Structure 1
Amino acid sequence: MNSILLQPEINELDRLNEFIINELSKEDFQVTLIVEEIFVNIVHYSNTEFIIVNIEYEKPRLTIEFIDNGFEFNPLLKEQHGPPYGVDETQLGGAGIYLTREMADEIDYHYESNENHLIIIKNVE
């Protein structure tokens, strides 16, 4: 498993994407979208001091773990909204979690030693 330590700043997203592409040896649109949604949510809402991302790739299974010491938040307990059918139905918040749930093959969360651990598993061709 390889790891990267990131500051909770949006400009770190480029470093994170490079890290993941290097591990996969290619870019995967769904993985990029999942990573961006989760990372941006952590940066904007968690009040964390750091973000650690662990990655393990054994074809075809990609495991990405996000660790932060921000507010305890289990995204799996967030009420799940379906996709909006038009601009009038769009709700603020929750779209990133919805997209992640739809694209990931497995998601797990636990809170341990004052840290959030979000584990996302995605089969990548």
Structure 2
Amino acid sequence: MNSITLNPEINELHTLNNFILNELQKENFQVNLIAEEIFVNIVNYSKTEFITVNIEYINSTLTLEIIDNGIEFNPLLKEDPNLPNDIDEAEIGGLGIFLTKEMADELEYRRINDENHLKIIKKVE
């Protein structure tokens, strides 16, 4: 398992994407979107001091564990938004956690020692 610790700043997203690409050895839109949505939410709302990402890629299964010491937040408890009937009714924002839930194969949240631990498991072909 490889790890990286990032500052909670949007400009660190590029570093995170490169870290994931280095592990996968290929681009994956869904993995990038999941990582970006979770990272940006942590940066914008958690008041964390750091974001640590652990990554493991074995037998086409990617496991990302994202850890921060910010405000306790279990994204699995967030209610899914009401989806618009068409694109003209769509509002900006509010879909990141929903999309993560839809795209990930498994999600697990735990609060350990005043840290949020979100584990994301995704099959990647």
- Shorter-chain TM-score tier: over 0.9
List gaps (5 residues or longer) in structure 2: none
TM-score with structure 2 setting the length:
0.94
Q: CA–CA distance in 1 between the matches of 2:100 and 2:90?
A: 20
User: Alpha carbons of 1:24 and 1:46: their partners in 2 closer, same or farther (altered >3 Å)?
Assistant: same
* Correspondence for 1:59: 59
Q: CA–CA distance in 2 between the matches of 1:83 and 1:29?
A: 22
Q: CA–CA distance in 2 between the matches of 1:33 and 1:92?
A: 14
Q: CA–CA distance in 2 between the matches of 1:92 and 1:49?
A: 24
* Correspondence for 1:9: 9
- Residue identity matched to 2:36: E
Query: Is the contact between residue 61 and residue 122 of structure 1 (CA under 8 Å) also seen in structure 2?
Result: yes
Query: Is the contact between residue 80 and residue 98 of structure 1 (CA under 8 Å) also seen in structure 2?
Result: yes
User: Alpha carbons of 1:84 and 1:122: their partners in 2 closer, same or farther (altered >3 Å)?
Assistant: same
Query: Is the contact between residue 107 and residue 118 of structure 1 (CA under 8 Å) also seen in structure 2?
Result: yes
Per the alignment, in what secondary structure is the counterpart of residue 62 of structure 2?
strand
List gaps (5 residues or longer) in structure 1: none
Kindly indicate whether residue 98 of structure 2 is the aligned counterpart of residue 98 of structure 1. yes
Q: Indicate the RMSD between aligned Cα atoms, in angstroms.
A: 1.2
After the TM superposition, which segments of 4 or more aligned residues of structure 1 sit over 6 Å from their partners?
none
Shift, 1:92, TM fit: 4.3
> How many residue pairs are counted as aligned between the two chains?
124
Q: CA–CA distance in 2 between the matches of 1:90 and 1:77?
A: 21
Q: CA–CA distance in 1 between the matches of 2:82 and 2:28?
A: 24
Q: Percent identity?
A: 65
TM-score with structure 1 setting the length:
0.94
